[in-house]
Amino acid sequence: MSGVTTDGTWPSTPANVSLMAMPTALWFEHLAGKHWHNDLRLHIGGHRHTCDSYYLTLESQHLGANLIRLLEQWIEQVNELRGAGGTAYLPYDFSDQCTAWLRVSAADGHTAVVQAGWSLIEAWRIDPSDYRATAPDVTDFKPIANAQIECTLDDLATRIALNRGSFATLRH
């Protein structure tokens, strides 16, 4: 369940939403048949990053609801950049010794550069259902090569909202 399907849609994307209609190449998916380790994959541009859901299920075993809450926070932060601009950090990989984040930079409050990267902030320091208290501590962001896209904040928020909906039926 990775990559683009033969009909031009992302996995778990509603069938009526074509990849070509959504120019923002960002998608977060659960890999079927896997649990807690190597079971999530972030797609950003041509880059793929496989990660664990373990920390996302510590608070509640309902992974779908936890992913929905995580992406709701992403949308809130993206929406806060509209008009005013700035930088937001959106976590997606929670590991014992580090975390991976999407850095969303929108100097003009309209166009964003979304870059995946690492921080030495340990996952145990973060509450995934309310990560925003920790996000300002990301001062050591190290970009991942070739893991960047440029898009409008509107497109990014729309893409994240579609992605959020794909987790509604996920149980695990």
Instruction: Give the pLDDT confidence score for residue 155 in this predicted structure.
Output: 96
171 in a structural domain: no
State yes or no: pLDDT of 75 exceeds 70.
yes
7 inside domain: no
Residue 13 domain-assigned? no
Contacts of residue 145, defined as CB under 8 A and 6 or more positions apart, other chains included, come to none
Residue 170 lies in a domain: no
Domain range spanning residue 30?
19-165
Q: What is the CATH number of the domain that holds 139?
A: 3.30.2450
User: Which residue do the tokens 């992302």 mark?
Assistant: 10
Sign for the CA dihedral angle at 160, 6, 172, 102 comes to negative
The string of pLDDT tens digits covering residues 18-39 is 333 445 689 988 887 766 688 8
One-letter amino acid at 92 equals Y
pLDDT (tens digit, 9 = 90+) per residue, 99-115?
A: 999 999 999 999 999 99
- Say if 6 falls within a structural domain: no
Do the beta carbons of residue 5 and residue 15 sit within 8 Å? no
Beta strand 111-119 pairing with 142-152 = antiparallel
Residue type, 3: G
Query: How many residues belong to the chain?
Result: 172
pLDDT in tens, 147-163: 999 999 999 999 999 99
User: Distance between CA 29 and CA 92 in Å, rounded?
Assistant: 11
C-alpha span between 114 and 104 (Å, rounded): 5
Task: Round to whole Å and give the CA distance between 57 and 63.
Answer: 6
Residue 52 in domain: yes
**Is residue 153 assigned to a domain?**
yes
Q: Give the C-alpha separation, 20 to 108, whole Å.
A: 26
Residue 114 placed within a domain? yes
Instruction: Enumerate the H helices of 23-171 as residue ranges.
Output: 63-81, 153-165
Q: How many domains does the chain have?
A: 1
